[in-house]
Amino acid sequence: MKAQHLLCQGYRRDLTSRAVHRDEDVFCNIPGLVSTHPNSYVQSIKEAPWPQVLTLMGKEGERSMIDLILDCGIFLTIESGHGSYYQLSGKPSDVTAHGVLAK
């Protein structure tokens, strides 16, 4: 079984016309997707500093940010972890892929 990207966990496709045209799912506003449970990784990527990084990169940097989030493993340092990291993006335990460490 192929490992699922962390940002996809808790979502599933629902391509019925009712799902594509409704606005009732508070966890997902992407047409054709429904949330089966909250995803803490998605919530984290919506919080500082990520929106500010995207703003600094501007419109031209949007593609780079998408590539970073989808194609790379992003790891954040855990403050009291003494060299431990929290994986924010990528496939679970994607340490051998193009990892990006952020402080």
Distance, CA of 50 to CA of 41 (rounded, Å): 12
Q: Which residues lie below 8 Å from residue 64, measured CB to CB, with a gap of 6+?
A: 57
Highest mean pLDDT among 11-20, 65-74, 84-93: 65-74
> Can you tell me which residue has the tokens 């966890």?
27
Which structural domain, as residue segments, surrounds residue 80? 6-102
Residue 20: pLDDT band with limits 50, 70, 90 = very low
Integer Cα distance of 10 and 30 in angstroms: 13
Of 101 and 44, the one with more pLDDT: 44
Q: What is the mean pLDDT of the chain?
A: 78
- Number of compact structural domains in the chain: 1
Task: Indicate if the pLDDT at residue 98 is higher than 60.
Answer: no
* Segment (H or E) for 85: strand 85-89
Q: Within the chain, where are the H helices? A: 17-20, 40-45, 50-57, 62-71
Q: How high is the pLDDT of residue 57?
A: 92
In a domain, 36, yes or no: yes
Amino acid 92: pLDDT: 78
In a domain? residue 88: yes
Is 25's pLDDT higher than 70?
A: no
Please compute the mean of the pLDDT values over residues 90-101 and round it to a whole number.
60
Q: Match 């508070």 to its residue by tokens.
A: 26
- Three-class secondary structure of residue 61 per DSSP: helix
CA distance 30 to 1: 26
Is residue 64 a part of any domain in this protein?
yes
